[in-house]
Amino acid sequence: MSATQSESAGFYRLNWLQRIGFGAGDLAQNLIYNTIATYLLFFYTQVFGLGAGVAATMFLIVRIIDAVWAPLVGTFIDKHTTPWGRYRGWLILAGIPTAGFGVLVFWDGFSGSLLYAYVMYIGLELAYTLLNVPYGALNASLTRDNHEISVLTTTRMFMANIGGLVVAFGVPVIVQAIAPNNEWGVPAAAGAWLATMSILIVIGFLILIFCFTQTKERVVMDASLQDEVKITDLAVEFRRNRPLRTLAFFFVTAFAMMAVGNSGAAFYMTEVVKREDLAGLFNALGVLPAFVFLPLVPMIRRRIGKRPLFIAFLLIGIIGLAMLYFIPNPHENVAWVMVAQVVRSIGVIVATGYMWALVPEVISYGEWKTGRRISGIVNALTGIFFRAGFALGGVVPGIVLALTGFVTDSAQQSARTQQGILWLVSVIPAILLILAVFIISRYDLSDAQLVQINREIEQRQREGSAEGTDRTPALPNSSLADPAFTGSLDITQRAPGNEKTPGT
């Protein structure tokens, strides 16, 4: 198949500016949302003046509201098209309110007000979901090429981790530099937090505009089918799409693990290691390995396959978490704390980064079965589950702190509280990673099968166009096994002349 034929069939190749432009969208979102996931509990309890238990309850309630909102967003964007495309227009339309609420959640004008905290946090979650769901769907609209999607995902995660590095290292450094007496965990530091978030928000929104200019939707559901989309498609798609179910449960465990560990990190460095000044370095070491290992992911995937890649790096993450737990006297062995953080992050970054490459795969699988490419619905479903993970991860730290007797502004936390904090950064995340290993071992959609699925979809669309219609009903007599894809598959079976598979 020639390059022109491949592109006409949806197997588009992007240049590096377009790849970086798409990935920049995740960089921008991380400048906003990663700050929330990592520092908001710390800010609310140490600076804003809320109790740990109250904050934990709020995190749970807000995430439940967002879980209801996400499917409404997914359905809406699949049924409507903005003047700039079905998905990319929301980078601007939703980016504006997300930026506004991102600043306001860190404003202390109503310090200690639970009502204000609820209103601002709910507003942020709703606006961010309206941005994040279309952005997630945008990936699957750029190309069908499996290798290109792998490169896009790697680029996206590389860029996202640049944002993560800025948040992990930059936020503590900037806040402490601006705050009185360089203390970031006291009420007097509120102005420093607001200034820091304002800087990040402005930069993030400018990057969203860049992402908007560099993306072009090429593989989308035909407009004639969009009126058929309805909210009940979420339940139907979840029931009939086995790879999607596996990925959804993996998202729950992965995001719960990240949320618990990230929320506990600031408390760990402040209350257990007793090196508040090194909190930025500790968080940065949780991101830096991404710049070494993420570019290697496409090569590793080709050599060993998707499932072995996930399992190997998840096990590396578990080893790093075990090291964190068993380090004696962390305040005296800071170097080993940093080593353990690097080992943990190598495993977690690769596994949780590459999982986004599976989303376009399950979208294509659903399109192969039904004829409709409902990217918004699928991303809403995955969004429900990763928000469930975030909800769990957001609630657990507050509950653990409350149960172990955490005292705000205490010069010395009890041994019980310190042990609870240690569980937040090591034991609970390790348990969740073990569960993630079991879940991802059930994902059985191979690269060869995915290539065949996409070729069948494109063949149906060409046949439909020749008959004067763009509708692409599923083929019940497809050569692919269904639904579990057991057995072997000759991917050249329908390829005239045994041409090379696009993207390989």
CATH architecture type of domain 14-450: Up-down Bundle (1.20)
Q: Contact at 8 Å (CB) between 389 and 255?
A: yes
Average pLDDT (238-262) is 89
Residue 415 CA to residue 420 CA, distance in Å, equals 9
Tell me the range of 137-141, 285-289, 320-324, 482-486 where mean pLDDT is highest. Answer: 320-324
Task: With a cut of 60, say whether residue 7 has pLDDT above it.
Answer: no
Task: With a cut of 70, say whether residue 436 has pLDDT above it.
Answer: yes
Residue at 256: amino acid letter: A
Please give the biggest Cα pair distance in the chain: 76
Q: 313-326, pLDDT tens digit by residue?
A: 999 999 999 999 99
Residue 438 CA to residue 199 CA, distance in Å, equals 41
Task: With a cut of 90, say whether residue 253 has pLDDT above it.
Answer: yes
Please compute, for residue 384, the number of CA atoms within 13 A of its CA located in the half-sphere on the CB side.
21
Task: With a cut of 90, say whether residue 142 has pLDDT above it.
Answer: no
Average pLDDT (35-51) is 87
Average pLDDT (308-335) is 94
> How crowded is residue 487: how many other Cβ atoms within 10 Å of its Cβ?
7
Residue 264 CA to residue 286 CA, distance in Å, equals 13
What pLDDT is stored for residue 72 in this prediction?
87
Beta bridge partners, 85, equal: 82
Residue 74 CA to residue 479 CA, distance in Å, equals 31
Buried b (16+ CB within 10 A) or exposed e, 329-363: ebeeebebbebbbebbbbbbbbbbbbbbbbbbbbb
Query: pLDDT band at 224, cuts 50/70/90?
Result: low
Task: With a cut of 90, say whether residue 450 has pLDDT above it.
Answer: no
CB contact set of 299 (below 8 Å; sequence gap of 6+): none
Predicted structure pTM score: 0.69
Query: pLDDT band at 396, cuts 50/70/90?
Result: confident
Residue 416 CA to residue 481 CA, distance in Å, equals 54
In terms of Cβ atoms closer than 10 Å to its own Cβ (0-12, 13-18, 19+), residue 168 is buried
Q: 165-195, pLDDT tens digit by residue?
A: 888 778 888 998 999 988 888 899 999 999 9
